[in-house]
Structures are given as C-alpha cells and as structure tokens.
Structure 1
Amino acid sequence: MRIEISRGVTAVRDSVKEKGLGATANLVAATAVGQLTFPVTKAMRQNERFLFRGEELPYTLHRYNNAYRNERTVEISIARWFLTREPNGRILEIGNVLAHYGLTGQTVLDKYETVPGVINEDIVDWTPEQKFDTVLAVSTLEHVGWDETPREPEKVFAAFEAVRSYVAPGGKLLVTCPIGHNKALDGGLRSGRIKFDEETWLVRTAKRNEWREATKDEALSREYGRPFRNANAVYVGTMNA
C-alpha cells in the first residue's frame, strides 16, 4: 500500500508539471470513478478472453496500478501463461511487478523499489552468482535509461543484453514492453537491433481495454497515450537459451 500511494503521488506531481492542474484533476477523477466501479467491471468482463499465440487467455482484472484499464491486463496474463508452460526452475524477475498480482517466489531485481527481498542494483551492472532457468521482465525495460537522470537512450540495449546473459543454458526468457514510451527502444525493435526467437505484437482496440494480435508495422505505428490512456500497443518477445 505504501508503494502504491507513493507511486500515485509521483504520478500526480508529474502530471501537474507536464499537463497542468486541470488535466490532472480530470485524470484523478476518472481514476477514482474507475476504482469505485471496479467490482462491476470485473463481474462484467471476467469471462472475456484475448487470443495470444493460438490460445485464449483471460484478461487480468486487478486494481493494482489500474491493471484492468491499461496494458497490464494482457501483460500479466501473458506472464502467467509463460510461467505455466514448462518447469521454471530458478526464476528471476526484472522489475518488481508480479508480486503485486499474487505471483511470488521469484528472485527480483529492481533498482528503485526498496522492499524486503528485492535486489536494488542497476541491471547493467549486476552479475548474478548463478544463472537462472527462467527470466522475465514485464513492462520494465522501457524505463531503463529513458526515465532516469541523466537520460541515456543507449542504455536500454545494454539492459536487453544483460537480461539475455542471466538465462542459463536450456532456460527461457520473456520480455514485454509498451510501444511508444521509449523512442530508442521502439527504434531498436523497428530495425531489428532488438530481436527474439518468437515475437508477438498486440494492439488495443477499444476504450473498454480490449486487445488483439497485430503485425509489427501496425503495432509500431501506435502512439503511447493516444487514442487511449497508457500503451496502445505491446511487444512480447520470448526465447529459449
């Protein structure tokens, strides 16, 4: 709860700075209404599914970080799918995300979230004593270098290389990233500088937060925050070591 409150205060402060008091007040009001109506939304949408690599997955409907209203609704579901496909062995998560949605037991590396059990190291500097059988990063790598001071656009590429290096032989890796947040990352995906064994692109299609698979070009043409709040497209990359 403390972390979520801190996250909310930071988001409001940044919004006032970037968009002004009026727009921020409207955003806060909309979020409050959404939280109040969450039980109704959850009841209405609990049986809805989206198609991902030939399988129908349920949307994640959760209050934390407004997951039922943004890209987390598909990203968390994809992470669950990834973790149930094969034996996982030793698991490393980049960014402290999944614990907030009930998925625990993994080693977590997160530079900024100071909670018990989380390793607070920079991803490009950290070297584990032992590699991991399963590594995943959900909506985290797009922040590396881009949302830090000073901004270092090239740092995200070093982060991707670090993540790959953490995977043990025979292990597996999942990365999900919103499109449009980090321009350097988008450029790397567009050029193929960032490439995975299997790639899937998803786009948001409706205000009520529905998603479908799309082509690479369609996903990369989407803007962050338009026409819907937060991500309007998501990249999913997986690989086997």
Structure 2
Amino acid sequence: MTRANTPAQPRSTTPSVSGWVRRAGGIRWFIRRFGFAQLFLKPARRVLAPLIIPMLRERSVEYRGASHPLVYASHNVTWANERCVELALARALMTGIPPERLLEVGHVTPHYFQGGHLVVDKYEPGSLEVDIVDFAPAERFDLILSISTFEHIAFDEPGATPASEAIAAKVSAALNRCRSLLAPGGLLAITVPLGYNPALDAMIANGELAWDRATWFKRFPRRRWRQVSRSEAVRCRYGSPYAFANAILLAEWEA
C-alpha cells in the first residue's frame, strides 16, 4: 500500500525486517537504537498499513521552490518516520535523470519507485553487493543519491564498535569516493537523520563534510515537515518528541 503519486510496491525478494535486525546486531541493537516500544509498534503499523494510509491527510514539503508530496508507504511505515520526507526529496532529485546516469548508495528507493538504476549496497540482495569505497565503474554519474545510509557506515556494521575517529575516516572515504564518481556537472546528494550517529553529528557540527549546499528539515505535529535553520535542526533530538528522526539534513555536492 502506497500513497502520493503511487510509488512502486516493495518487491517480494526484499529481506525481512527481522533478517535486517539480525545482521545489524539483533534485538538488543534494535532496542538500543530505536527503543523497546518500536519493537512492537513498527510491525503493528506494517500490518495495519492498508487501513491507516488511506486515512492520512496528504502533506507536502517545500524544496527548491516547489512543493513535493510526502510519500506514505507500508514498507518501513514511512508515514511514521523521516522516510516520508526523504522519499519526497529523492523523487524530486531523481526526476529527469536517465537510469543509466543515476547511482544510488544504499538500497532504498527501489522499495518505493520504479527505477532501473544501479544500486550499491554491500548488505542487501538485489543490489551490487560491494562497499562503495571499492566500487570502480568505468562510467560516471549525473546524480549519486544516498538516503539515510551514511549514518550507518562503521556505526551499525555487524560486530563493529569503532571509535569516532574511525567512523569519521570511513564516512570521509565514502564521500570522497562518491564525489570521484560524478560526471562533470553532476550532483551528490545524501540525507542524514540528525542525532542518530554522534560521530557523524560531530562531523556535521565541525563542518567536516564540506558540502556545497545544505538544507535542513524538521518534523512538526501532524506529520508536517518544514525547512528550518541549521541551528534549529541541530537542536533536535533523535527519538524525541517523535519516534525516529525529528530533523534531517540534505547535503549536496556539485562536481
């Protein structure tokens, strides 16, 4: 069940949420990251999605001078978290880009949209299962897109408990690799939930990502998302007052 311009239905080959949780670190990891209640609320929302989504009021987010509908879908219960606004932004960025000129880092948008573009994700079947830093294609891309993926680098990898410096080094390496794969005039765009990964939050606060453009979005009551100032966004806490991200960053780099 989806809503807002009818994204594609999730594919049946997608691993189950429980399988993803096991790979990331198990039930204890899930509770530590998202809270005990979400262990039950998220599956319940998924089951009830066919009833819930038709009752939701459509919302939009402003970006680049246009209004983009939030995406409500049963996969990952997007209406209850930041994925609804991330997908709206992703769709805006992807519009007009030929599939062969688009690279996605982290397997996200194929769950919702018809694409046909190349996806690199070393943990997700159905993608090119390789670390982005080891990816060496002959072609270059007009758009490289990554939705809520960089916060997991070295932070949520199975068995990993690296120091902040190690996380920062791996994030920087992945960013540098992505930028090297841009065609002239190309764009790298990533979204990051603020407050999830302290090491990445520190990189953002210290200006270490060196983006060309940053847009900040905050969640408001009744599932509204709006652009806000950097100072307002970085004050938001992950998981409070709303479950999951209460603010996100859209960072962009131009070739």
Divergent runs of 4+, >6 A: none
Which whole-Å deviations, capped at 9, do the CAs of 1:180-200 have from their partners, x for residues lacking one?
111121111112111322210
Structure having greater relative contact order (Cα 8 Å, sep ≥ 6): 2
Match of 1:202 among 217, 236, 248: 217
**1:159 maps to which residue?**
174
1:23-102 equivalence runs, <5 A = 24=36, 26-84=37-95, 90-102=101-113
**2:7 maps to which residue?**
none
Q: How many residues align?
A: 235
Which stretch shifts more, 72-81 or 178-187? 178-187
Q: How many angstroms apart in 1 are the aligned matches of 2:131 and 2:20?
A: 23
- How many Å apart are 1:114 and its aligned residue? 2.4
Distance 1:28 1:162, change over 3 A: same
**2:129 maps to which residue?**
120
* Superposed CA RMSD: 2.5
Distance 1:218 1:41, change over 3 A: same
- How many Å apart are 1:100 and its aligned residue? 0.3
Distance 1:9 1:198, change over 3 A: closer
- How many Å apart are 1:46 and its aligned residue? 5.0
- How many Å apart are 1:85 and its aligned residue? 5.3
SS in 2 for 1:177: strand
**1:143 maps to which residue?**
152
- How many Å apart are 1:67 and its aligned residue? 1.2
**1:225 maps to which residue?**
239
- How many Å apart are 1:233 and its aligned residue? 0.8
SS in 1 for 2:248: strand
TM-score (structure 2 length as normaliser): 0.82
Percent sequence identity over matched residues?
Answer: 34
Match of 1:174 among 165, 189, 195: 189
**1:4 maps to which residue?**
16
Q: How many angstroms apart in 2 are the aligned matches of 1:172 and 1:17?
A: 34
Distance 1:67 1:7, change over 3 A: farther
SS in 2 for 1:227: coil
Q: How many angstroms apart in 1 are the aligned matches of 2:62 and 2:254?
A: 22
The answer on whether the counterparts of 2:69 and 2:88 sit within 8 Å (CA) in structure 1 is: yes
TM-score (structure 1 length as normaliser): 0.86
Distance 1:171 1:190, change over 3 A: same
Q: How many angstroms apart in 2 are the aligned matches of 1:128 and 1:232?
A: 36
SS in 1 for 2:85: helix
- How many Å apart are 1:3 and its aligned residue? 0.6
The answer on whether the counterparts of 1:60 and 1:68 sit within 8 Å (CA) in structure 2 is: yes
Distance 1:171 1:88, change over 3 A: farther
The answer on whether the counterparts of 1:139 and 1:176 sit within 8 Å (CA) in structure 2 is: yes
Which whole-Å deviations, capped at 9, do the CAs of 1:28-59 have from their partners, x for residues lacking one?
44234423443444223353222223221111
